[in-house]
Structure formats: structure tokens, C-alpha cells
Amino acid sequence: MNKKLFVVSGSSGVGKGTVLKEFLKRNPDFMLSISCTTRTPRDGEVDGVNYFFISKDEFKNCIEGDKFLEWAEFAGNFYGTKKKFINQCLEEGKNIILEIDTQGALKVKKQMPEAVLIFICPPSLEALENRLRGRHTEDEETIRKRLNVVKEELERAQNFDYKIVNDSIDNAVSELENVVLGEQKNA
């Protein structure tokens, strides 16, 4: 049976990773998709588990061979979702979640209109701004750049199917469960 594909995006700093980690703990029959990337593995990251770590040449060949459902450049590295990986998972009836950026998410929707896009947002721009300023770790220029990126992402999120406000991890995880399990029931 083919399952629905779920795509979760959110600006960095909103706790998207924590929400997803908790969701997967509570719903062990779900798995995260494994993307390809050209960035070097961080400590503890394993090839084929966290990412498929490939060279820029291999990545370029995959683009030319139309192997990606979507791909994007992020902070000087390339990230992409292989069509074959996703199709195989869906055919095997796996419950799969893609954790990718907002541009990638919209590209997936164009090719697979049945995919469900979920955006995790900060409680408010002011709250995020206060948090960034409160940390005193970034200068004004960096803060403004990050806020602009967040604004762009919030604009793209207008085209998402669901928005979940991360005011508390527990609430956000429950909302994510409602969306995902509800969508599956209607599939």
C-alpha cells in the first residue's frame, strides 16, 4: 500500500529537530528520509544513516541524470532527496517524513501534489528576535540577516498545508501527531 509523504520544514532556531525527535520516539513506525549531501559528516554522523555523504561530482551527476525529487544549496553545500529512495520507501509502505528546507518542500509539492507540507513556526517573530538578541552571540547585521531569512520562510509557509506553532515541545508534538495520523486516516 502506498503511504502519504510528509514534509516538515521550519526556520532554524524554532526547535524543529527536537519536535521531530520526540515525534519519532513516540511513533517508532515512522522514519526520516535520508538525503544526499556534499558536506562533510559531523562527529557521530554515519553514512547511510544520517545522510548519504557524496562528492560534488557525484551530486552533479545525479542532477544531470534527473535523480533528485528536489535539491538545494544551503550554506555552500548541496542537499538533495533521491527519487528512487522515496519511491522505494512509499512502495514498501513505510511511513516517511522529509526534513528539508522550505524551497525544497515546495518543489516536492509541485511534483507530488499529494505530499503533505507542515511548517513549524516560532510563536512570534518578536519572540524569535528577542531570543536572538538575548543570546548576545550575534552582531546586529547577522541578526537582521537571520530575521530576513525567517520572514522569507514564513512567506513560503503560506503555501504549506499546515502550520504548527512551537510554543511548547509537548504541544507541538501532539499537533504534529494530530496532523500526520489524521491525514493517514483519510488517505
Question: In terms of DSSP H, where are the helices of 92-139?
Answer: 102-111, 125-135
- Decide if residue 99 touches ligand 5GP (CB under 6 A): yes
Among 14, 38, 81, 160, interactor with ligand 5GP by CB under 6 A: 81
Residue 29, SS3 per DSSP: coil
- Binding residue for ligand 5GP, selected from 6, 23, 59, 79, defined by CB under 6 A: 79
| Helix ranges, 27-65 (H) | 56-64
**Residue closest to ligand 5GP (Cβ):** 104
Local structure of 91: helix, strand or coil? helix
Nearest residue (CB) to ligand 5GP, 70 versus 175: 70
Single out the segment in contact with ligand 5GP by CB under 6 A; choices: 99-107, 143-151, 156-164, 179-187: 99-107
The distance of closest approach from Cβ of residue 153 to ligand 5GP in the complex, given in angstroms and rounded to an integer, is: 10
Binding of residue 30 to ligand 5GP (CB under 6 A): no
10 Å CB burial of residue 97 (0-12, 13-18, 19+) is buried
Residue 72 as a binder of ligand 5GP (CB under 6 A): the answer is yes
Residue 78 binds to ligand 5GP (criterion: CB under 6 A): no
Please give the C-alpha separations between residue 165 and each of 15, 52, 176, in angstroms, as whole numbers.
10, 31, 10
Calpha distance 140→97 (Å, rounded) = 35
* Residues binding ligand 5GP: number (CB under 6 A): 12
Give the whole-angstrom CA distance, residue 70 versus residue 105.
8
What residue ranges bind ligand 5GP (CB under 6 A)?
A: 35, 39, 70, 72, 74, 79-81, 99-101, 104
